[in-house]
Amino acid sequence: MAESKEEVDVLVQRVVKDISIALKRHPNIDEIGLIQCPEALYNRSPIVLVENKLGVESWCVKFLLPYVHNKLLLYRQRKHWLDREALVDITCTLLLLNPDFTTAWNVRKELLECGALNPERDLYLSKLALTKFPKSPETWIHRRWVLQHILRQFSAVAHKTQQRVEAEQPDAERSQFLGSHLDRLIHQEMKVCSDAACRYPSNYNAWSHRIWVLQHMAKGNIKVFRDELSSVHPWVSMHVSDHIFCPSQHQSNTVHSTCPQANGELSLADAACGDRITTVFKLFYQETELCADLIQSFPGHETLWSHRRHVYYLWHHWRQDQDLCTDGRENELKPTCINEPDGSQGRNVDRHKHVSVPMEVDRVSLPDHDSKRLRRGILLPNLLTLQNEHTFVNSILNSCCNAEQNNYAVAYKKWLDTVISAQSLDI
Amino acid sequence: MKLYSLSVLFKGATKANLLKAAYDLSSFSFFQRSSVQEFMTFTSALIAERTSVGTRASVKEQEYLCHVYVRNDNLSAVVISDSEYPQRVCFTLLDKVLEEFSRQVDSIDWPSGNPDTVSYKGLDIHLSKYQNPREADAMTKVQAELDETKIILHNTMESLLERGEKLDDLVSKSEHLGNQSKAFYKTVNMADSPATLNWIHAAATVSVVVFATFAGTETELLL
């Protein structure tokens, strides 16, 4: 490199400042990127802003990154002092180039704790870093730390409100404000996670984060879980081989979380109990239907079969728990068939009639027909039986020619036989 | 599952002439899009050139699949998709596009046309509609078996080349690739083993290579 140390110093300081100014002046920047540019062509800044995308020309990285990296480490070793503003700028530049540099995130944690930095800034910075490095583990970890920091602040505020003898603001208003802030944060997290999951296939870190957010920030919030399920469905339909099956695990967790929540929310009156059970049935049924639909439309994706296992397993165990708890109340929910006598014979025949429909080319009639029944809360328990699962698998085996699909179907059948049947009390 | 590009070309005696193309590069990072688009054009033309008249083929390259149909009248279409997208729907799309194109654009214009002179507007609409294979192809079941027409499968781009031909040479001579894209390609293929061809990866991962190198060496020196 022909540049002298002084020239490099000047260049780098200018670039760090340029990045900081760009971010301040253009809060709509939503993506960062590297621009392939082996040499500096004109005497101008390597920081480029186009349509809310911030680009760094590649020629400057070999000067920039070692310099800021070194500076920060010297600060950490107390060999070089940096004031707060410089720290913010340097860590910002560093993390946009290399977000897995834990020390930089830790410096920002310190700044956050002493109040010199707004937590929202770090949520924004990590969101930008994730547009270029969607897997970066350190970024996700830092994001969770920041969210916990914000949650602690919330509960401190809520606690203070309770302690006040005469409240200046009515409690309801303040908690509503906090509630909507929390909702906004959750919504933002979901968006960041799904963007990262789209940018990088089978993005385990993104989906783990999503699960964490639901578990820690959306406790008891049924609406969030419901919205989650409905937003993940289309995603899963367009990413059928996202192989870590985190989306499916996420869906199962969401369904599962919704169940105990339903327990707490509704009363134990028989009618309400029936509603609760119906809601859960509906959820499981919808999951199974989605899975069946995707399995038939896109043969040969192991993820879909894994998801089916997951959902069925949860359903099976949930059902067994319910049987143990409700002891006998279930009888009121036993389905009655509309046109046939109440004998178990009739029900068996009807079950087969329904299950045989999926084998026809046009499955449109099944969902409509059954959705009417879903609304009336009858017939559901019989749609998710072991027998139906076997029938479904057999229909796949009979109709498909894709070798992989065949293997997955056979494996699923084996699983049903060995795992589920062995664990069944009686079906 | 995604479709990235859809193009119509005329397979001439020695090279394929690009007539019209549509791209959906929204899933690529912003600053890579122009290079990615150039590489996709380059690849589509190369594949059309190397596929025999009257055949269909699918060429796999990393996590991308390029599907081509060269008709008996030399009109060809190429679609580049990811590996999740159902193959059968791709070929349905290619058939449809070629049929529509040949109705709307006079065959006299095929050998010498280019995207500026050709006035076919259907590609963008088709590309957008077919992003969701089940919606676009509602009439026929997505997983239905492909008809008896054989589809040749290539596991890498290199299997399209003649003996002794190098992809590096084709890249450097290509008129579809700008200097920046050619520089991209060179950078990556020095870092990776010569046997691997990462044309899209060139655009997408060169930044990772750069950063990994610097982060790695610096931490060794300083910590």
> Which of these, A182, A180, A123, A126, lies nearest to A152 by C-alpha position?
A182
Q: For residue B200, give its domain range.
A: 183-215
Interface contact flag, B183 A36, Cβ < 8 Å:
yes
Q: Percent of chain A at pLDDT above 70? A: 73
Report the range out of A39-53, A164-178, A247-261 with the highest average pLDDT. Answer: A39-53
A25: pLDDT strictly greater than 50: yes
- Return the top range by mean pLDDT from A245-249, A303-307, A402-406, B81-85: B81-85
| B34: in domain | yes
Cβ–Cβ below 8 Å for B83 and A239: no
Q: Which positions in chain A touch B141 (Cβ < 8 Å)?
A: 297, 361
Do A278 and A259 touch, CB atoms closer than 8 A?
no
Residue at B93 is within a domain: yes
Same domain, B46 and B96: yes
Q: What is the pLDDT of residue B209?
A: 38
C-alpha A327, offset from chain centre: 36
List chain B residues with pLDDT less than 70.
137-149, 187-223
Closest alpha carbon to A312 in A343, A291, A341, A333: A291
Residues from chain B that touch A34, judged by Cβ atoms under 8 A, are: 31, 206-207, 210
Q: How confident is the model at residue A130, as a pLDDT?
A: 95
User: In this complex, how many residue pairs, one in chain A and one in chain B, have their CB atoms less than 8 Å apart?
Assistant: 85
CB-CB under 8 Å, B84 with A131: no
> What are the pLDDT digits (tens) for A150-179?
999 888 887 776 776 555 555 677 778 888
Could you say which DSSP state residue A218 is in?
Answer: -
Question: Does one domain contain both B154 and B124?
Answer: yes
Average pLDDT estimate for A177-205: 89
Q: Choose, out of B63, B132, B143, the residue to mutate when testing the contact with A (most A CBs < 10 Å).
A: B143
Closest-CA distance, B196 to chain A, in angstroms, reads 21
Residues of B engaging A, defined by a Cβ cutoff of 8 Å: 1, 27, 29-32, 35, 63, 83-84, 86, 132, 134, 141-143, 145, 180, 183-184, 187, 206-207, 210-211, 214-215, 218, 222-223
Same domain, B112 and B208: no
Same domain, residue pair B18 and B93: yes
Stretch among A180-194, A216-230, A254-268 having the lowest mean pLDDT: A254-268
Average pLDDT over residues A222-244: 78
Tokens, residue A114: 């002493």
Please, which residues bridge with residue A229 across strands? none
Nearest Cα of chain A lies from the Cα of B66 at a distance, in angstroms, of: 19
Task: Considering only the beta carbons, identify the residue of B1, B215, B222 that sits closest to A70.
Answer: B222
Domain-located, residue B127? yes
More confident residue, A265 or A38: A38
Q: Tokens 């400057």 belong to which residue? A: A60
- Under the banding of pLDDT at 50, 70 and 90, the label for residue A80 is confident
Tokens of B38: 């150039």
For residue A200, what is the nearest residue in chain B, using CA coordinates?
A: B27
Whether B156 and B77 share a structural domain: yes
Chain A residues within 8 angstroms (CB to CB) of chain B: 31, 33-38, 50-51, 53, 55, 58, 61-62, 65-66, 69-70, 73, 97-98, 100-101, 131-132, 198-199, 201, 237-241, 296-299, 301, 361, 400-402
Asked whether the predicted pLDDT for residue A242 surpasses 90, the reply is: no
Mutation target among A36, A50, A74 for the B interface, most CBs of B within 10 A? A36
Q: Do B84 and A239 touch (CB under 8 A)?
A: yes
Residues of A in contact with B35 (CB under 8 A): 36
Do A36 and B180 count as a contact with CB atoms less than 8 A apart? yes
CB contact under 8 A, A400 and B143: yes
Q: CA nearest B131 in A: which residue?
A: A238
Q: Do B121 and B188 lie in a common domain?
A: no
Residues of chain A contacting B83 with CB distance shorter than 8 Å: 241
In a domain, B136, yes or no: yes
Tens of pLDDT, residue by residue over A364-388, are: 333 444 445 444 444 555 667 888 8
Per-residue model confidence (pLDDT) at position A174: 74
**Do B45 and B100 belong to one domain?**
yes
Does the beta-carbon distance from B214 to A73 stay under 8 Å?
no
Could you tell me which residue, A312 or A196, shows the higher pLDDT?
Answer: A196
The CATH number given to whatever domain includes residue B95 is: 3.30.450.50
- Cβ distance of A33 and B32 shorter than 8 Å: yes
For an interface test with A, give the residue of B33, B37, B181, B207 to mutate (most A CBs within 10 A): B207
Cα–Cα distance between A315 and A311 in angstroms, integer? 6
- Do both B103 and B205 map to the same domain? no
* B35 and B123 housed in the same domain: yes
Residue A354 has what pLDDT?
A: 36
Average pLDDT over residues A350-356: 36
Task: Name the nearest CA neighbour of B26 among A396, A186, A198, A75.
Answer: A198
User: Does a structural domain hold residue B170?
Assistant: no
pLDDT of residue A424: 66
Q: Of B176, B148, B147, B218, which is closest to residue B49 (Cα–Cα)?
A: B176
* pLDDT per position as a tens digit, A292-309: 888 888 888 888 888 888
Q: State what percent of residues in chain A have pLDDT above 90.
A: 31
Q: Which residues of chain A neighbour B132 with C-beta distances below 8 Å?
A: 238
Mean pLDDT across chain A: 77
Determine whether the interchain pair A66/B183 forms a contact, defined as Cβ–Cβ distance below 8 Å. no
Residue B166 lies in a domain: no
For A283, A355, A412, A427, B76, the CA distances from A421, given in Å and listed in that order, are: 23, 20, 13, 9, 54
B221 within some domain: no
Write down the pLDDT at residue B103: 94
- Comparing alpha-carbon positions, the chain B residue that sits nearest to A64 is B214
Q: Domain total for chain B?
A: 2
For residue B162, the 8-state DSSP code is P
Rounded to an integer, the average pLDDT of A21-47 is 88
What is the band of A339 on the pLDDT scale with cuts at 50, 70, 90?
very low
Based on the domain organization, do B206 and B148 belong to the same domain?
no
Which pairing describes strands A53-57 and A31-35: parallel, antiparallel, or unpaired? parallel
For residues B188 and B152, membership in a common domain is answered with no
Q: Are residues B48 and B91 in the same domain?
A: yes
Which of A94-108, A266-280, B83-97 bottoms out in mean pLDDT, i.e. has the lowest?
A266-280
Given an 8 Å threshold on Cβ–Cβ distance, is B214 in contact with A199?
A: no
CB contact (8 A) between residue A238 and residue B1 = yes
- Structural domain includes residue B172: no
Residues A393-409 have a mean pLDDT of: 84
| Letter string b/e over residues A117-131, b meaning 16 or more CB atoms within 10 A of that residue's CB | beeebbbbbbbbbbb
Angle at which helix A61-76 crosses helix A84-97, to 10 degrees, equals 130
C-beta atoms of B35 and A36 within 8 A: yes
The predicted model gives A244-271 an average pLDDT of 50
